[in-house]
Amino acid sequence: MDLNSDLGEGFGPWAMGDDAAMLGIVTSANIACGGHASDPDTMFATLRMAAEKGVCIGAHPGYADRLGFGRRVIPMEPAEIARMVAAQVGALQGVAALAGAKVAYVKAHGALANLAADRREVADAIAGAVKALPGGLAILAISGTELEAAGRAADLPTFSEIFADRAYLPNGRLVPRSRPDAMILGAKAAADRLIDFLDSGRMPVIGGDPIPLAAQSICVHGDSPEAVAMAAEIRARLTAAGVKLAPFRA
């Protein structure tokens, strides 16, 4: 099982989260590409740090909306989305070349990921861009989504993730952040839920029976001191439960 986290989400003088701490916890890092967060210097520093720690690197493209942190949909045609994803992932690949790092996969961010979960034409646009880029990139998609299907249909190495700290709906989608019950609070609750899931293959949902989900990766967040502590405890609990943690993609 892989542990992934969104990293490199600072911008200019502003930091977000403790990337150094998170890179000691996760096995894969989804690195922002300058769309919803980051800039060339932040990208370089994050890539360097991830490479030094032997963490697998993914590109984390999002809507080019720093003010909204890529969390609101900007209406775009699928072809425009493909170009935006290609530009952002290509940018990270370029900085990675300077930093002596390699981008192994792509994971969409925020509103783009949520839209690609439900809208096949958006998912196909992302998969098409990833397929066109060099480097044999894989796709990391939210489990059970259109993006996962699009990645497979495009014959891309496709992996799926579940979220350690987000509640699920009966249709397998995440409870929107705007709802008070969106987050799983507390490391113990999150770890208990993950261990149950790994045993049963079924994820608890709000308003229904647990649903089957496949996953090769678990997403943990590190954007606050509490989140880093939660990620560390989840790693410790999974390891203690005999779960072997390694990148889904070498």
In 3D, which of 115, 44, 43, 41 has the Cα closest to residue 80?
A: 115
Name the burial class of residue 165, with classes exposed (0-12), middle (13-18) and buried (19+) by CB atoms within 10 angstroms of its CB: buried
Considering only 13, 180, 207, 242, the residue that binds other proteins (CB under 8 A) is 13
DSSP 8-state class, residue 185: P
What's the min distance (Å) between Cβ of 73 and other proteins? Answer: 17
Helix (H, G, I), strand (E, B) or coil at 27: coil
Q: Which is closer to other proteins, CB of 67 or CB of 250?
A: 67
Rg over CA atoms, the chain: 17
What's the min distance (Å) between Cβ of 35 and other proteins? Answer: 13
C-alpha span between 27 and 5 (Å, rounded): 9
Residue in the structure block whose two tokens are 């894969």: 28
Which one of the spans 6-14, 22-30, 55-63, 138-146 is the region binding other proteins (CB under 8 A)? Answer: 6-14
Amino acid at site 6: D
Q: Which is closer to other proteins, CB of 58 or CB of 110?
A: 110
What's the min distance (Å) between Cβ of 40 and other proteins? Answer: 9
Q: Which of residues 101-140 bind other proteins (CB under 8 A)?
A: none
Residue 204: which H helix or E strand, with range? strand 202-205
Q: Which of residues 19-78 bind other proteins (CB under 8 A)?
A: 39, 66-69
Considering only 16, 23, 138, 219, the residue that binds other proteins (CB under 8 A) is 16
What's the min distance (Å) between Cβ of 70 and other proteins? Answer: 10
What's the min distance (Å) between Cβ of 127 and other proteins? Answer: 28
In 3D, which of 72, 67, 69 has the Cα closest to residue 32?
A: 69
What's the min distance (Å) between Cβ of 234 and other proteins? Answer: 23
Residue 72: strand pairing partners: none
Which one of the spans 9-17, 96-104, 130-138, 198-206 is the region binding other proteins (CB under 8 A)? Answer: 9-17
What's the min distance (Å) between Cβ of 10 and other proteins? Answer: 7
Which one of the spans 12-20, 108-116, 154-162, 213-221 is the region binding other proteins (CB under 8 A)? Answer: 12-20
Name the burial class of residue 169, with classes exposed (0-12), middle (13-18) and buried (19+) by CB atoms within 10 angstroms of its CB: middle
169 and 207 Cβ atoms separated by less than 8 Å: yes
128 and 102 Cβ atoms separated by less than 8 Å: no
Which one of the spans 11-19, 90-98, 115-123, 139-147 is the region binding other proteins (CB under 8 A)? Answer: 11-19
Number of residues that bind other proteins (CB under 8 A): 12
C-alpha span between 102 and 226 (Å, rounded): 30
Return residues touching other proteins (CB under 8 A). 10-16, 39, 66-69
